[in-house]
Amino acid sequence: MTNAKRVWPWLALAVLAFAAWRVASLGLADHYAETQPERALFWRSHHPVALLRAAEAAARDPARADEAADLARRALHADPLDGRPYRVLAQLALARGDEAGAAELFTVAARRAPRDLPAHLWLLDHHLRNGRAAEALPHLDTPLRVHPSLFARFEPLLLELAGAAPLHAPLADTLASQPPWRARFLRLVASKAGDIDAVAPLFEAVRRTEGGLAANELGPWLDRLVREGRVGQAYLLWAANLPPERRTRLGNVFNGGFELEPEAVGFDWRFGRVAGARISRLGGPGVGGRVALRVAFEDRRVPFSHVRQMLALPPGEYELSLRARADSLRTERGLVWEISCVAGGGPLAGTPPLRGHGDWRELAVAFTVPEGCEGQWLALRLPARIPAEQRIGGRAWFDDLKITRVP
């Protein structure tokens, strides 16, 4: 018993010492694994990260290819679920000229390590070079999902892909899964694509997928078409993207009775914000449907031109008609509806000014859309010539706006 009592303390100390050494060696291996893998492997010869980093370093030297392969296999043995050692083995296969073998290894690497960018980039390029767009796009999608900050770096590639006709269908299918980079990608293409004819089929393909194009995706593309003078093309795309309940309101003026909530996209109403005026849709006496447009002013200077809609009228003779009511509307110049060309220039026509107080009344004006006037603005504005004439108070109501072609 006496000898046993003497042995147990030493045995306990030995166990504690071994445990302390084990903890220290593991800590040192973890500490050096990324920056000094050889030092980490001294403390822990089967540390998976250290083996991976050592394999990557060795693979950069052609003379150390066998060593790199051995380190990569040891890394896999230490952590069989990590895909990055497969990427090292794939790079070694490429160096030997075995592209088919490299492709298989890169595929395993990308599947097991979705955050490993080099594997995805190589597979993306490999499949595109070999005409396999459907196989290529997941290796664009995954990095952009995992590393959103890479989007700016990928912009040149994304623009190139958007203009490639064979990629339009698989790209649309990829976008139909609603990846988080979808809206940003479509805005990028709309604003920066060099050849709009090359990317137009992509927007049409996305429009035909389930869910179509959201307003924030369609708007920038329509604006681009209008800037390029393709107002008719923009109008047809916008109208085709409307849901059935909104398509019933199509006409030379869309939703002229203001029954639908404006979406501020394409050829819908656009309500702006300006201090001193409140734009709303309200019901009331004499309103044609459920609501009409009401603009309330706070008796201060307001540079008002904040209700407008883009039109797509071909050249010809027209008449604008509407119903209006002034409700204690105090203004020297009065509110007018004007029509002008999107490209600029003076107004084509303006309604009689509305001011004062009274019941609902009809307003109408005839106008001509000349050749070369691709797209027009219909806008409610206060035509003040000097700041003093911007002062306005009271309320104005409008309903049942229509534009009719005159034979």
Span 107-125, pLDDT tens digits? 888 888 888 888 998 998 8
Band (31; pLDDT cuts 50, 70, 90): very low
The pTM assigned to this predicted structure is 0.73
How many CB atoms sit inside 10 A of residue 303's CB? Answer: 14
Indicate if 159 and 287 belong to the same structural domain: no
pLDDT for the residue 280: 96
CATH number for the domain spanning 322: value is 2.60.120.260
Asked if residues 310 and 267 have their Cβ atoms less than 8 Å apart, the reply is yes
How many CB atoms sit inside 10 A of residue 94's CB? Answer: 16
Span 361-377, pLDDT tens digits? 999 999 999 999 999 99
Q: Is 392 part of any domain?
A: yes
Q: Give the residue from 130, 153, 187 where a domain finishes.
A: 187
Q: Is 62 part of any domain?
A: yes
What is the CA 325 to chain-centroid distance, rounded? 41
Indicate if 16 and 152 belong to the same structural domain: yes
CATH number for the domain spanning 132: value is 1.25.40.10
Write out the residue range of the structural domain in which residue 290 sits.
269-405
Provide the token pair at 183. Answer: 């809206």
Q: Give the residue from 141, 168, 187 where a domain finishes.
A: 187
Indicate if 282 and 177 belong to the same structural domain: no
Domain count, the chain: 2
Parallel, antiparallel, or unpaired for β 336-341 and 269-271? unpaired
Q: Is 233 part of any domain?
A: no
pLDDT for the residue 259: 95
Asked if residues 257 and 288 have their Cβ atoms less than 8 Å apart, the reply is yes
Three-state secondary-structure class, residue 325: strand
Which of the 8 DSSP states describes residue 64?
G
pLDDT for the residue 43: 53
Indicate if 36 and 171 belong to the same structural domain: yes
Where are the extended beta strands (E) located within 216-265? none
Span 161-211, pLDDT tens digits? 999 998 899 999 999 999 999 999 999 999 999 899 999 999 999 998 988
Span 138-158, pLDDT tens digits? 898 988 998 899 899 889 989
Span 234-248, pLDDT tens digits? 999 999 888 888 988
